[in-house]
Structure 1
Amino acid sequence: MTGIPRYNVSELTYLIKNQLEDSFPVVRVQGEISNFRPAASGHCYFNLKDKDAVISAVLFRQQRQLLTFKPGDGQSVAVIARVTVYAQRGNYQLICESMEETGRGDLLYQLEQLKMKLQGEGLFDSKFKRPLPLYPSCIGVVTSLRGAALQDILQILQRRMSSCRILIKDTVVQGDSSARSVLKSLEVLNQRDDIDLIILARGGGSLEDLLSFSDEAVVRAVAASRHPIISGIGHEIDFSLSDFAADMRAATPSAAAEIVSQRSVEAPAKVKQIKSQLLQGMKHSLEKQKWKLSRCSKEDLETSLLQQISMQQQSIDLWKMETKRVLQDRISQIRHMNRVNKEVLEASSPHYILSRGYALVRKDGNLISQANQLTQGDHVHLQFTDGQISAVIEGDKIEI
């Protein structure tokens, strides 16, 4: 089409750059710092934002040295800056000439308020912190499958405790759906009985990137977790409220993996140390006994052996006497019981009853116990203690 200007990328970029710089030679912009990144050169790179927009900004080392405060994420500041375009990326940005603090950022203030609320409820109390298992056999990991944090964790755990099982729950760790995803992952892992602890992790980022880990529902879920939780969220300078609710906080995901595997690394060295101590103790004991033997004469050894033999003989004598006493007591008890049983048996013996003047009456071999079992003329046998006689019933039954 004719009449439409034609440019290559560089030409268009520099036209835009010149237009911006001419239109906004110096501006004063107020906003909240986020994603603050100090470089080794002394320059600082960050975003300046409000609720609707974000602008990239840079504060060079010379200007940074003039500041009377230390800038960081969440601070509300006002900058005097030039608007320009960073051609290599095609981004427009602010080149800050000065910066002044205007107050705490809204987001940081809200987090601080929530922190105070939860702290007041005792959610962060150290008395609720549980120790991490010394030798976990199964570890749950809540993080993104696509993040570098997971690779760092896996590399360390596989190298230091390869026998440990690792259950990974793929989780959205940034954005609007992140808090719900973290909650769901924690819920799933807490339903399992085979997990010893949970690593809650993600890589570094801005305050906004880590915001889901400071969500009130997430923080409460971390504090109420059935399994102990170690948090490894962001870098050492980053923080989230989940760090305060977790049973332990690690500066980075890698540090979290190193902490949970520390005892597994120390165990072989500890075993080696104990073995060395035992060997040294045995050697010392043997040397001590050897030294004692070297100082003893033949007579001393004989005397010592005779004393030990005498002591053993005394023990044997005491044991024999005690055994004899126990046996005698037992024999006396048995004899007494025999006498008692004999008297009982004799008292119930038929011969004993007959000796007291009674007789047994039998008719046709059957024992007669009542008078009405007999009639006149019946032949009966009477048994006394000294013998038997026969008799004939002559009279009638006599009523008693």
Structure 2
Amino acid sequence: MDWFGTGEDNGKDPVKSVYEVSSRISRLLDDESLKGIWVEGEITNFHRHVSGHFYFSVAEERNSKTYVLNCAMWRSSAREISYIPRNGDRVKIYGSVEVYEPHGKYQFIARDMVVCGEGDKHILLQKWKEEFLTLGIFDESRKKPLPKYPEKIGVVTALGGAARRDIENVISRRYPVEIVLSPAAVQGDNAHTEIAEAIRRIDGMVDVIIVGRGGGSFEDLFEFNHPDVVVAVYECRTPVVSAVGHEIDFTLCDFAADVRAPTPSAAAEIVVPDMSELLRELTQYRHSLLKGLEEKIEKENQNLENCRLHLHPRRLSKLINTEYERLDDLHSRILKCIDHRVGKEDYELKVLRKNLELLNPFSPLDKGFCMLRSGETLIKSASELKEGQHVSMVMKDGSAKAEILEVCNEKEL
């Protein structure tokens, strides 16, 4: 197979160096038809470098797909144009396609730029936003409060994405509860359909739903602006937290959701409390209760002593003795109440801690058990294993790789 036009074909694929491949690509793109041309498209991902250079992309929607061309305009050309480009502007740029061989990267080097108008996607986004505002979908009055102590949390994101791992790590650290994953593609031309279906799939099954993904370009996040996703969030009976992209990124899903989080990790912190903080609050409440009762007793003792000093002792000695007895009785009852309340709080705290430990998926590891994973999948049954399969064993102090030598489907107790 002679891929590179060398004329060599000895029945084997020729082995080429990285330099040869990059050089070949550069020569193939060194085409006069790609030099000194005008290109029209919508500006996205615009960045003005401190050096004065412009870095951006021009995008075009065609056949339900988005085509993107990475571009750069050096400072010498950028200072010649009369305006600063913005994301969403539709422009015509003049220049040539060039290749940077060491990185194997091609881009369009623009030398001139003419504004045509606002880009198709930004126009569509503005149209959708105005329609939803008219329908009241973004109204604050319809937003639902988040549960204070959720027991099940739904997550709508990519199955193997970093957002899923960030959410799981934060929840397991702060307040271990059950996580129900409803996976969906988070970018691509049909991702909006999967996202909407994933939201409806777990609506009513969990206490709160996190919908999100990591950061990306305007095109990467655009599916979260689609009416299918916005309507699914609006109609969801379960409170929804939107966590799409980074803090600077905004989508229509953010406005439709009950709460908007700047990142997936922040969303996880919003939906669950901090268990250690709860324990500190309970301890502070107990100390405050004891201190208040002790101050009350001290105050009553002082009042009684003042009465005794201001009244004739012979006339009031009996009354004072009675009051002392009543005070002693009150003191005993208060101490009993304190002990009962403290005991109750201690019991509830132990139950809460025990329940949290039962919900912690890593607790069995402290008893000598281990979790078996194949890639990102947790192995729950011997029927999921096969001979020769490579797996990871996760233990309390580390992990190990293993190969399955034999699978026995019968339980051996």
TM > 0.5 between the two? yes
* CA–CA distance in structure 2, aligned partners of residues 65 and 105 of structure 1: 23
CA distance in 1, matches of 2:84, 2:297: 66
Do residues 30 (structure 1) and 40 (structure 2) align?
A: yes
Describe how 1:213-228 pairs up with structure 2 within 5 A. 213-228=224-239
Structure 1: where are the runs of 5+ without partners? 311-400
Please, which moves more after superposition, 50-59 or 204-213? 50-59
Please say if 1:306 is aligned against 2:306.
Answer: no
- Gap change, CA 1:133 and 1:47, over 3 Å in 2: same
Tell me how far 1:113 sits from its aligned partner.
Answer: 0.3
1:187 counterpart residue number = 200
2:129 is the counterpart of 1:120: no
Q: 3-state DSSP class of the match of 2:61?
A: coil
In the alignment, residue 254 of structure 1 is paired with which amino acid?
Answer: S
Structure 1 19/186 Cα, relative in aligned 2: closer, same or farther at 3 Å?
closer
TM-score (norm: length of structure 2): 0.64
Answer whether contact 1:74 1:207 (CA < 8 A) is retained: no
Contact 1:135 1:264 in 2 (8 A): no
1:271-314, Cα deviation, whole Å (9 max, x unpaired):
2333343233234323423433454546747638639979xxxx
Give the letter aligned to residue 306 of structure 1: L
In structure 1, C-alpha distance between the alignment counterparts of 2:135 and 2:276, rounded to whole Å = 38
Q: Does 1:10 align with 2:19?
A: yes
Cα distance in 2 for partners of 1:184, 1:176 equals 15
CA separation in 1, counterparts of 2:240 and 2:102? 43
1:281 corresponds in structure 2 to 292
Q: 1:227 to 1:80 in 2, by over 3 A?
A: same
Counterpart secondary structure, 1:204: coil
Does structure 1 conserve the Cα–Cα contact (< 8 Å) formed by 2:174 and 2:274? Answer: no
**TM-aligned CA distance change 1:4 to 1:100, over 3 Å:** closer
Whole-Å separation in 1 of the counterparts to 2:109 and 2:78: 12
Q: 1:48 and 2:62 equivalent?
A: no
Question: What displacement does 1:89 show?
Answer: 3.9
Q: Does 1:259 pair with 2:273?
A: no
Q: Is 1:136 the equivalent of 2:146?
A: no
- Structure 1 position 247, deviation (Å): 0.6
Structure 1 match to 2:282 = 271
1:46-66 Cα distance to aligned partner (Å, 9 max, x none): 321223442111345777688
Deviation string 1:71-113 (CA, Å, 9 cap, x unpaired) is 4543323434443112234332023445554432110110110
SS in 1 for 2:188: coil
Secondary structure of the residue aligned to 1:110 is helix
Distance 2:143 2:291 in 1: 39
Please say if 1:57 is aligned against 2:71. yes
**Aligned residue for 2:183?**
170
1:33 alignment partner, SS class: strand
CA distance in 2, matches of 1:59, 1:269: 56
TM (normalized to structure 1)? Answer: 0.66
Q: Distance in 2 between matches of 1:144 and 1:217?
A: 18
The equivalent position to 1:211 in structure 2, one of 212, 222, 234, is 222
Distance 1:85 1:31 in 2: 21
Taking a change above 3 Å as real, the CA distance of residues 169 and 237 of structure 1, as seen in their structure-2 partners, is same
Worse overlay, 100-109 or 236-245: 100-109
Q: CA distance change for structure 1 residues 233 and 67 in 2, over 3 Å: closer, same or farther?
A: farther
- Tell me which amino acid in the other structure corresponds to 1:223: Y
Q: Is the 8 A contact 2:308 2:320 kept in 1?
A: no
- Provide the rounded CA distance (Å) in 2 between the counterparts of 1:149 and 1:208: 18
Partner of 1:343: none
Q: Tell me if the contact between 1:115 and 1:241 (Cα under 8 Å) persists in the aligned partners.
A: yes
Q: Deviations over 1:340-361 (max 9, x none)?
A: xxxxxxxxxxxxxxxxxxxxxx
Conservation of the 8 A alpha-carbon contact between 1:36 and 1:206 = no
Distance 1:264 1:68 in 2: 56
Name the amino acid aligned to 1:174: Q
Q: Which deviates more from structure 2 when the two are superposed, residues 278-287 or residues 208-217?
A: 278-287
Match among 110, 120, 124 for residue 124 of structure 2: 110
1:147 — aligned with what? 161
- Shift in CA distance, 18/117, structure 1 to aligned 2, threshold 3 Å: same
Distance (Å, rounded) in 2 between the aligned partners of 1:290 and 1:42: 78
AA partner of residue 77 (structure 1): V
Structure 1: which amino acid aligns with 2:146? L
Percent sequence identity is: 37
Name the SS for the 1:50 alignment partner: strand
